């Protein structure tokens, strides 16, 4: 799969036909909301879990020294809680550019906090994208993140901001919090 996913994502869904669009954020889209939205709600995506298994060439690392950022991995018995935003189709020019480093938009069902299920969209970096780094222990992920920097800032800040946002939402995520614990030890 090509690394820059902008053109692929444009063809994936016809968003103009949709009455409502709910975008699910599970990483930087929780704490860096640089797009307009109509409403938001905590939401869960069943059968998926977040992992720092994707390489970042353009935000928290560089092509020569990629950082480690989140993607979602299928995991039948788990769920991922994040933030869902009701948005207009206009925001996707910006978001497809922001998330162009291997992420594709997927159609999913989201469980909103009021228990209503909504059709949603989520950016996931699949295993076959060229920036994919894959599984590693939380300790080795933390060591990698500790040394990575890119145009959007340090990879460490990505984790610390996310951990803080999840704590504020009352979300427990052992993978994220263990990496955060290692990073705070190195500081």
Query: What residues line the site for ligand BEZ (CB under 6 A)?
Result: 25-30, 69-70, 99, 103, 123
User: Looking up tokens 């699949």, which residue turns up?
Assistant: 126
Question: Alpha carbon of 84 to those of 51, 81, 108, 162: distances in Å?
Answer: 19, 9, 12, 15
Q: At how many degrees (to 10) do helices 138-146 and 174-186 cross?
A: 50
Distance CA 24, CA 82 (A): 7
Task: Please tell me which residue in 20, 99, 180, 185 is annotated as part of the active site.
Answer: 99
- Of 145 and 186, the one with the shorter C-beta distance to ligand BEZ is 145
Annotated catalytic, 127?
A: no
- Minimal distance, residue 103 CB to ligand BEZ, in Å: 5
- Minimal distance, residue 50 CB to ligand BEZ, in Å: 8
- Minimal distance, residue 169 CB to ligand BEZ, in Å: 13
Distance CA 109, CA 118 (A): 6
- Of 43 and 183, the one with the shorter C-beta distance to ligand BEZ is 43
Catalytic residues: 99
């Amino acid at each position: 799969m090509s690394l820059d996913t902008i053109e692929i994502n444009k063809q994936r869904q016809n968003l103009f036909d949709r009455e409502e669009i709910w975008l699910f954020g599970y990483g930087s889209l929780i704490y860096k909301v640089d797009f307009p939205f109509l409403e938001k709600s905590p939401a869960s995506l069943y059968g998926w879990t977040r992992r720092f298994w994707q390489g970042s060439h353009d935000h928290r690392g560089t092509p020569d020294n990629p950082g480690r950022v989140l993607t979602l991995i299928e995991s039948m018995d788990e769920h991922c809680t994040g933030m869902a935003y009701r948005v207009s189709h206009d925001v996707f020019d910006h978001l497809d550019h922001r998330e162009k480093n291997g992420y594709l938009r997927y159609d999913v069902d989201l469980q909103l906090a009021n228990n209503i299920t909504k059709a949603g969209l989520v950016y996931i970096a699949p295993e076959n994208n060229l920036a994919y780094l894959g599984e590693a222990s939380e300790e080795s992920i933390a060591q990698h993140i500790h040394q990575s920097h890119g145009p959007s800032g340090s990879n460490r800040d990505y984790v610390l901001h996310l951990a803080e946002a999840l704590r504020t939402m009352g979300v427990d995520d052992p993978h994220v919090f263990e990496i955060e614990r290692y990073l705070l030890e190195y500081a």
